[in-house]
Chain A
Amino acid sequence: MRVRVLGLIRRWETLLVVLLIAFVVLGSSLSPYFLSASNFSDLTSNLMEKAIMALPLALVIIAGEIDLSVESMLGLASALLGFTYALGWPLWLDIPLVLVVGAMGGLLNGVLVTRAGLPSLVVTLGTLALYRGLASVVLGPRSVSGWPEWFTNFGFAYVPGTLIPWPLLVFATLALAFLFVLHRTWIGRQIYAMGKNKQAARYSGIDVAKLKTYLFILSGVLSALAGVILTARFSSARADNGQGFVLDVVTSVLLGGVNIFGGEGTIVGVVLAIFVIGVLRNGLTLADVSPDTQSVAVGALLILSVAGPTLVRRISAAWPRRQLTSPVSNS
């Protein structure tokens, strides 16, 4: 069983690589500019905030919950950064402050889910609205600009001597850390255990509530970090920054093979899926398709990513299962 499940996941990741190559080929046929180095770094820069939010969300979903509030946490972080910077506070103070607020936002989600026992879908849908609303309370409709050069460079400039944008370096480091934590450490093991069987995890002495709360906090902090990076990249702090990102973030995680019901998924799959969606959007942009229209494709991918594995599993399981259970279930 385990071998078969692992095999399926491997096949799923193979499928993502195939999809990625297909989209690259498609993109290069749409525009000669697609395969250029500068387009590649554009494409990745555009992706990194979503990619950074997708990593903790993957853990949250594997643990059996969901966090829809990430994009609003990003917006709140951006607004708060602009607000404090406009007050004349130094950035070395503003940035940690914003990350702490991200942690508090995550803590609120975590406490409402694990202590009050509310469904995370509802809680984070609520904070999705709440944090966005707070963002506009903090900053209003204005945008804050006039950022120091080192800060805006951090948003899109290359690591000296390379073609690697700074945000990509941040994401790559984080991705490696998540890869290690999920697949090699006891924390990852406990996350899988609670996603596969919450009761058995609890009966095995795992503090399910505490670990889940930490995951929500992590999600809040990294969403705030994404907000800082987006503000730097746009050289502009706005309350509506990152609006609509949640679709791409959730789609990346699920397309990456994370089971929406928890217990299954890999970081490699999620990273691949992030790039699949990035390449798709980039190709469509080059083909002059507006971002709103692109959502048709992303939305379809989201549904496919949930329906696909289920369908594969059902087809592969239907045959032997039917033969096995029929004498009993007919009784």
Chain B
Amino acid sequence: MTEISPVLQLTGISKRFGAVQALIDVDLDLIANEVHALVGENGAGKSTLVKILAGIHRPDAGHLELDGHELVLSGPAAARHLGIAVIHQHPNLFPDLTVAENVFAGRLPRNRVRGVDWGRLNRAAEKLFANLGVKQRVSVPVRGLSVADQQLVEIAKAFSLDARVLVMDEPTAALSGREVQRLFTIIRQLRGRGVAILFVDHRMEEVFEIADRVSVLRDGRHVITAPISELTPADAIRHMVGRRLETLFPKGQAPIGEVALEVRGLSRSGVFADVSFQVRRGEIVGLAGLVGAGRTEVARVLFGIDHADAGEILVTGKHADIKSPTDAMRLGIVYVPEDRHEQGLVLDFSISANVSLPIVHRLSRLLMIDRAQEGRLAADYSKQLQVRSTGVNQAASGLSGGNQQKVVIAKWLATKPTILLLDEPTQGVDIGAKAEVHRIISQLAAQGMAIVLISSELLEVLGMADRIVVLHEGRVAAEFDRDEASQERIMAAATGQAEA
């Protein structure tokens, strides 16, 4: 490539949140008249990078240069003022103001009596949209517009501010196919007008359609930047998943028994459709997919929190009517939810009150809780799962993430379940506790439990699961046996790539 000086250059950007190193020494350069795609798995650091460009976060190390000048973004307003426009996945507009008012928010033209000069405002906005080649009524409130149209309002706004750099964070996530094509047409127009565009996405087909160059982030690090012509989608996916050093506790051998849970054509309108799979006793089935692919939603239906519109759930071969968590528990189905603090635990309660919560009525005689039995139960499971605490009377709020997760698991084991649904069981726990949670899951499978493991971490799914069901946009995109699964194949299915 010829030497073109970049509009925006990032050098050695690092950012840390508490214990999590979100970005490590990332370099990136954006060139005028170019669409630069930034891809990576969930949690790779894309959003953090976008937020740094938007002036929401400040990097701990490294620097940004705009046209060769050092750039300090003191806040979102500063970023906008300096010509960096960020369009977030969910447009950030004033719903009750008109399109024109949103475009020129804070800069409304005034008339002689210091009121808004509506005529001038609307003409300016109309001209702007005409320039973009878009038909849009500018005097209607934004509330009634589709997400796609709201994005265009954001783009028009960026354009009116003479943005040099346009950052789009997963702009197509909520768009239909036709809307995506319209957006791409506009992006191509903008590219011809000297704007540098950063297109953040993880859908390979879109990236390869629109981008000129692509950069890959993995675990907060910049892996590669290459012209799109020098990469294939498979290469990009390989760079996204990479090889990680973490050792995971692999699943031990467990005798696989009869089918414990079967899902046939399960659908919930607008969330997932026609999902079918089986889980046998002693088997771990991984549910893989990107965030929003419908994995948690399937689990919520299996646990009776939400309800399916169509399809059937069978437990040990019999039709199961699950209307509530109580029904699910009666059938031996339990769910370790994604959000420990909001859904898994009553943080103010002691370990023992948390462990006993689902069965506290069964631990009671004449309504009265048998505290001794309750304490013993909690102590037994705490010991079995190696919960580190000052005792079963310690409040759950004082435990580390890993130990909190063990308390949630203990709570469900105390109900003597046969089917265990685990939703991101190791999210936010440290490496040591993670290995312990893996060991526990593996032991439970060995004892004959049927386990559904939802995880966004591919290595976790690959290490633990006997079979992997991959969801893409609410549908089963692929199903792999343990020995035929690979990170690349899962990622390809999860991002909507047909099997190569």
Contact = CB atoms under 8 A, between A and B. Distances in A.
- Whether both chains belong to one complex is answered with yes
Interface of A: 1-2, 5, 180-181, 184-187, 189-190, 192-193, 196-197, 199-207, 263, 328, 331
Rank and list the top 7 A-B pairs by shortest CB-CB distance, nearest first: A185-B367, A2-B395, A186-B360, A1-B395, A205-B325, A204-B357, A186-B361
A196 B346 contact: yes
Contact of A184 (B335, B353, B368, B395): B368
A203 B348 contact: no
B411 A2 contact: no
A238 B467 CA distance: 72
Interface stretch (B94-102, B113-121, B337-345, B376-384): B337-345
A185 B345 contact: no
Given A186-B360, A192-B346, 9 more contacts: A2-B393, A185-B369, A186-B361, A189-B356, A193-B357, A199-B343, A200-B342, A205-B329, A206-B357
A206 B368 CA distance: 17
B346 A200 contact: yes
Contact of B349 (A180, A187, A193, A202): A193
Interface residues of B, number: 40
Nearest to A195: B346
18 contacts: A1-B398, A2-B395, A181-B367, A184-B369, A185-B364, A185-B367, A185-B369, A192-B346, A196-B347, A197-B346, A197-B347, A199-B343, A200-B344, A203-B303, A204-B358, A205-B325, A205-B328, A207-B324
A59 B360 CA distance: 18
Given A189-B369, A199-B342, A204 B364 contact: no
A189 B370 CA distance: 12
Nearest to B363: A186
Chain A interface, DSSP helix/strand/loop, else mixed:
helix
Contacts of B18: 328
Contact of B17 (A5, A202, A204, A328): A328
A190 B326 CA distance: 14
Contact of A202 (B325, B347, B364): B325
Contacts of B326: 205, 207
B329 A197 contact: no
A196 B358 contact: no
B305 interface: yes
B397 interface: yes
B5 to A, nearest CB: 32
A292 to B, nearest CB: 40
Contacts of A199: 342-343
Nearest to A189: B360
A189 B348 contact: no
B368 A185 contact: yes
B348 A5 contact: yes
Nearest to A264: B348
Given A184-B368, A186-B367, A204-B325, A193 B346 contact: yes
B225 to A, nearest CB: 27
A203 B337 contact: yes
Contacts of B393: 2
B350 interface: yes
A308 B209 CA distance: 62
B88 interface: no
A228 B397 CA distance: 46
A29 B337 CA distance: 60
B325 A203 contact: yes
B348 A2 contact: yes
